[in-house]
């Protein structure tokens, strides 16, 4: 049993401190909301209701960018209801920016607002297993890589609408990245590090696909696509290795990526000597190969 003195803040608010051990055990942080229920002559404190986690954030003088980062962080940590509050009012630009950012958080939707607060609530049932979510993220990324390599090879569909569709696709991939981080935050097992390596590599790989699309949109040329065609097959094989639980397939991907690196070193050396303007496109394809390799290593580490 512990004892706490009642203190007063302001003119009429009575407060007591919470036991540090209980706060740590309950995984609570500054800004979190706890539930207080009156039970006879006593009070009952609890951190969850129906399995939900709540967080309340004071807007004060925080920038809209910082508030958006807090929204993402709370989402990833597994909070189901996130409320932004202000003593006076929440500025329209902050309100608009928070709503825009919530569009990147699958299942997290605006759920009522007043002039002084705006609430976001998780409305999606999260019963899908981690492998299925990662597979969906990979499928979108894989499709973009395949499409852009085929388009460069055949010089078809290299137009503004096609390239912008590839760029927009990266936004969808980012949504799954945040969702998977949320799933990982609630996973307590030795495989978390390997899973994070896999999903982070898919996200970074997809960023480079977007970068290639942007460079082509700016008019950058590209002639040696044949050297990077194997990336499509290898990217598909590494995910098949994850789904099937056969790490030997991931080992084979690592061997093939190393062969690809030997060829591309010669190619990149020649481009650097020529000061070729398309070097940035080649560099992104090189990085894609590295991230496929990182995914393969993550798959191996799961077994």
pLDDT confidence tier of residue 10, bands split at 50, 70 and 90: low
pLDDT in tens, 211-246: 999 998 888 777 678 888 999 999 999 999 999 989
Same-domain check for residues 115 and 154? no
One domain, residues 97 and 169: no
Q: What is the pLDDT of residue 50?
A: 47
Instruction: Let me know whether 140 and 208 are in one domain.
Output: yes
> Are 46 and 154 within one domain?
no
Would you state the pLDDT for residue 190?
Answer: 74
55 and 173 share a domain? no
Q: Which residues pair with 122 in a beta bridge?
A: 108
Same domain as 252, residue 114: no
> Kind and range of the H or E element at 83?
strand 81-85
Is the residue at 5 inside a domain?
no
- Beta strand pairing status for 117-122 and 108-113? antiparallel
More confident residue, 7 or 62: 62
**Is residue 273's pLDDT more than 70?**
no
Quote the pLDDT of residue 109. 95
Is 284 among the domain residues? yes
Q: What is the mean pLDDT of residues 118-131?
A: 84
Closest CA to 104 of 60, 141, 132, 72: 72
Q: Note whether residue 23 is domain-resident.
A: no
Domain match, 221 and 82 both: no
Whether pLDDT at 102 is above 50? yes
Phi/psi at 85 (5° precision): -125, 155
Indicate if the pLDDT at residue 171 is higher than 50: yes
**How much is the average pLDDT of 10-23?**
76
Assign residue 63 the CATH number of its domain.
Answer: 3.30.110
On whether both 149 and 117 belong to a single domain, the answer is: no
Q: Tell me the pLDDT tens digit for each residue of 136-170.
A: 999 999 999 999 998 888 876 678 898 999 999 99
The predicted pLDDT at position 110 comes to: 94
In a domain, 22, yes or no: no
Percentage with pLDDT > 70 across the chain = 86
Residue 25: inside a domain? no
Q: Of the residues 122, 138, 170, which one is the last residue of a structural domain?
A: 122
139 and 104 within one domain: no
Same domain? For 138 and 272 the reply is yes
In the predicted structure, residue 51 carries a pLDDT above the cut 70 = no
Report the pLDDT value the prediction gives residue 38, as an integer from 0 to 100: 66
The boundaries of the domain holding residue 144 are 130-301
Q: Which of 85, 101, 122 is the last residue of a domain?
A: 122
Tens of pLDDT, residues 179-218: 999 988 877 667 889 999 999 999 999 999 999 999 988 8
- pLDDT for 188 equals 63
Query: In the chain, what are the helix, strand and coil shares in percent, each to the nearest 5?
Result: 60, 15, 30
Percent of the chain predicted with pLDDT > 90: 53
At residue 278, the pLDDT reads: 73
Summarize pLDDT for 29-46 with one digit per residue, the tens: 766 667 676 666 777 776
User: Tell me, what's the pLDDT at 131?
Assistant: 87
- What CATH number corresponds to the domain at position 144? 1.20.58.220
67 lies in the same domain as 86:
yes
For residue 140, the Cα-to-chain-centroid distance in whole angstroms is 14
Domain shared by 109 and 182, yes or no: no
Per the domain annotation, does 155 fall within a domain? yes
Where does a domain end: 60, 88, 122?
A: 122
Q: Structure pTM? A: 0.77
β-pair type (81-85, 117-122): antiparallel
């Amino acid at each position: 049993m512990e004892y706490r003195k009642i203190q007063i803040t302001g003119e009429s608010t009575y407060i007591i401190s919470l036991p540090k051990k209980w706060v740590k055990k309950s995984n609570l942080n500054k800004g979190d909301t706890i539930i207080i229920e009156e039970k006879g002559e006593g009070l009952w404190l609890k951190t969850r209701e129906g399995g939900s986690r709540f967080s309340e954030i004071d807007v004060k003088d925080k920038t809209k960018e910082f508030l958006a980062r807090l929204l993402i962080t709370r989402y990833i940590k597994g909070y189901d209801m996130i409320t932004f509050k202000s003593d006076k009012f929440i500025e329209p630009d902050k309100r608009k920016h928070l709503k825009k950012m919530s569009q990147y958080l699958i299942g997290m939707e605006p759920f009522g607002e007043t002039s002084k607060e705006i609430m976001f609530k998780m409305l999606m049932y999260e019963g899908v297993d981690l492998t299925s979510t990662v597979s969906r993220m990979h499928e979108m990324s894989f499709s973009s890589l395949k499409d852009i390599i085929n388009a460069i090879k055949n010089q078809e569909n290299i137009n503004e609408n096609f390239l912008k569709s590839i760029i927009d696709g990266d936004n969808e991939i980012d949504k799954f990245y945040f969702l998977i981080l949320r799933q990982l935050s609630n996973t307590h097992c030795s495989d978390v590090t390997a899973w994070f390596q896999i999903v982070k590599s898919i996200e970074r790989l997809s960023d480079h696909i977007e970068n290639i699309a942007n460079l082509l949109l700016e008019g950058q040329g590209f002639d040696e696509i044949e050297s990077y065609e194997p990336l499509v097959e290898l990217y598909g094989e590494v995910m098949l290795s994850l789904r099937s639980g056969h790490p030997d397939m991931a080992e084979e991907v690592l061997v093939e990526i190393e062969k690809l690196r030997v060829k591309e070193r010669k190619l990149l050396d020649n481009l650097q000597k020529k000061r070729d303007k398309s070097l940035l496109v080649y560099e992104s394809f090189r990085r894609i190969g590295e991230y496929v390799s990182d995914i393969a290593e993550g798959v191996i580490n799961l077994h």
